[in-house]
Homo-oligomer: A and B are copies of this chain.
Amino acid sequence: MNGEVTEEAAGDIGTTVEDVVSGSCIVDQFQRLADLDDQERALLAALEGELETFEADQLLLEAGQPASEFYALHSGWACAVRFLPDGQRQVLDIFLPGQLMGLHEIGLAHAQSELVAITELEACAFPRQALSEVFRRSPKLAEMFFLSLAREQAMLTERIINIGRRPANERLAHFLLEMQARLDPETPIVDLPMTQCLIGDALGLSAVHVSRTLSNLRDEGLIDTDTGQVLLMNREALVEMCSFDPVYLDARRRWLDQA
């Protein structure tokens, strides 16, 4: 959680469960929702662009530009951010490997928020026409894109509850638990390549108050941050504190199996 995280974590993150190296970004992600046949795999692979590398802090999509493509994140972290006229910043979404980025902007004439690399990352672009192509050619894949959007939406509503109705300590606890669940539910270590300032902008808190609140959690023995990572010392208590329920993160495989 201290300064030393920033660069090193970027490398570590690449080795979490979410990061499965293979030919296509999206295929890997969708494979988890339902089995794909060769034809479906080929269709996806044909539509996606080259794997591109971005440096930390680099913009993948600029606000105000036409949102003519979205991305599949292969490795590294990214986020969607929105700037207010007074200079304030709100993080709308945090993306981990395997996620689709910028889907919600697709269809807008101009992007409302920007897509920024948090760490060095690899992603491949999808032109938005590709989406129509998928809808025409494969109902099953179309449903998977739909579900992908629905899952992101579930995460957004959860964030609204978090920001709207929970005090800072619960807000942070919930955030840490969500990140742990998304990174690796088995390991009580959250390796965050994020500045406290960025965390604050995601949770609607000031950077200073994030620092203070983390201290409080540390003093209560709920977390530890010695090694530059956040260690969930008492996960039970954290879950209890913010009534964390990870069902909204479900990949919903069952839904597709029924269809």
Contact = CB atoms under 8 A, between A and B. Distances in A.
A153 interface: yes
**What is the total number of copies of this protein in its complex?**
2
Interface in A81-122: 82, 84-85, 88-90, 92-93, 103-104, 106-110, 112-113
Nearest to A202: B164
Contact of A165 (B84, B106, B107, B110): B84
Main secondary structure of the interface of A (DSSP, over half): helix
Chain A interface residue bracket vs B: 35 or more
A252 interface: yes
23 contacts: A82-B157, A84-B243, A90-B165, A103-B150, A104-B153, A107-B147, A108-B247, A108-B252, A109-B250, A110-B247, A112-B154, A128-B255, A129-B259, A131-B143, A132-B139, A132-B259, A135-B140, A135-B146, A139-B139, A146-B149, A160-B160, A164-B204, A165-B204
Interface of A: 80, 82, 84-85, 88-90, 92-93, 103-104, 106-110, 112-113, 128-129, 131-132, 135-136, 139-140, 142-143, 145-147, 149-150, 152-154, 156-157, 159-161, 163-166, 203-204, 243, 247-248, 250, 252, 254-255, 258-259
